[in-house]
Amino acid sequence: MKILIDGMGGDNAPDIVVEGAIMATDYTDEELCILGREDDIRNLLQKQGYDGDQITVINATEEIENDESPVRAIRRKKDSSIVRALYMLKDGDGDVFISAGSTGALLAGGHLILGCIDGIERPALATVYPIIGKEPSLLLDAGANVECKPHHLLQFAYMGSLYMEEVIGRENPTVGLVSNGVEQGKGSLLTKETYKLLDQTSLNFMGNLEARDVPLGIADVIVTDGFTGNVILKLSEGLALTIMRELKYRFTSSNIAKLGAAMLKSKLYSLKQDVDYKEYGGAPILGLNKALLKMHGSSDGYAVMRTILKSIPYVKEDVVGKISEAVKKQDELGGQGELGERGELKR
């Protein structure tokens, strides 16, 4: 297996990418190929004391910025790490691509260069949502598709469920639909129609869930449109940060408080880690013909390493193939199956 790693995207590239790749060599023997400015990357590898041949380097000189038009950037910057990596994936010269670069460029590039799995209309960004004291949930769409139709959400549910089962190892994962009330009748036009579709599938669909229950880990797979998914992620991040900052402020506001806080230091620190909605790395872009993982822009070396390791079951369990099979199986049934023709449920 050849794991392609973007040596350009994110706040701390290429340093942390090199650091994470070197760390990962302790846990895997797969080839790790970093794409970026070759000289810089080779220098960093040397500086960090790496002299093996498991990590290879592919030269790419152009960088796609977060504020560029993604489609234009993909079309023009042929020598960017993202465009090079996507073509390598397409040509079979790589099995998975990991990047902390522009989400828009990854989505647009994935769409244009790799294409969607037959029957899937929209790739979705699936994000790991941390749950305190429990295994995390998977939230999708986390922001790739602002406007969605019911059958898109149905496809997200299938893809998320497969990823959760095959990569994260959750058995028969529960699927919940974000709405403004748990009753079936509650919701927007979108969620009410989606409910009906999900209710007829073989998925472990538990019905609507309220946003209040998302942080409790009420469902393994949380399905929503990209607008709401973005609101859920960003609000969780903002509110958790605000509360933790306020704790710190209050706990240092008097001498006795400081003393008390000192006794709780490890507990506070571990909680801060647990509610760090920003740091959980490695969001798969599901629905493309190849495996893609998006890392957070501020990932550190440890996050890069974790994402590299997570990409291995993603490829080995052939999640892309399994999504494709799931869709095809339905097509073989003459479009009468769960995902139906063009991904739409026939009723």
The site for a copy of itself (CB under 8 A) is made up of 132-133, 143, 146-147, 178, 180, 187-189, 210-216, 226-228, 230-240, 242-243, 246-247, 250-251, 253, 256-257, 259-264, 267, 270-271, 274-275
Burial call 316-337: b when 16+ CB within 10 Å, e when fewer: ebebbebbbebbeebbeeeeeb
2 strand-pairing partners: 31
Residue 124 structure tokens: 């979705």
CB closer to a copy of itself out of 187 and 287: 187
Distance separating alpha carbons of residues 327 and 337, to the nearest angstrom: 9
Contact 189, 321 (CB under 8 A): no
**At its nearest, how many Å lie between a copy of itself and the CB of residue 45?**
36
Is the C-alpha dihedral spanning 159, 128, 235, 217 positive or negative?
positive
In angstroms, what is the minimal distance from the CB of 242 to a copy of itself? 5
Residue 187 CB, shortest distance to a copy of itself, in Å, is 7
- Bond from prior residue into 14 cis (ω within 30 degrees of 0): yes
262: its two tokens: 């000192």
Q: Closer to a copy of itself at the Cβ: 52 or 256?
A: 256
Nearer to a copy of itself, 164 or 275 (CB): 275
Sheet containing strand 204-210, edge to edge, reads: 127-129, 137-140, 221-223, 174-179, 204-210
- For a copy of itself, the closer of residues 15 and 213 by Cβ is 213
Distance (Å, whole) CA 44 – CA 49: 9
Place of tokens 């898109």: 152
State which residue, 56 or 252, has the beta carbon closest to a copy of itself: 252
Quick one: 245 or 316, whose CB is closer to a copy of itself?
245
CB of 269 vs a copy of itself, minimal distance in Å: 11
Min CB(251)–a copy of itself separation in Å:
6
CB nearer to a copy of itself: pick between 62 and 210: 210
We find the least distance from the C-beta atom of residue 303 to a copy of itself, in angstroms, to be 19
In angstroms, give the least distance from the CB of 171 to a copy of itself.
Answer: 25
CB 298 within 8 A of CB 261: no
What is the closest distance, in whole angstroms, from the C-beta atom of residue 137 to a copy of itself in the complex? 13
Which residues have C-beta within 8 Å of that of residue 345, sequence separation ≥ 6? 151, 154, 197, 200, 338, 339
Token pair 């790419």 in the structure block, residue: 60
β-strand pairing of 124-125 with 283-286: antiparallel
Query: Which of residues 196 and 250 has its CB atom nearest to a copy of itself in the complex?
Result: 250
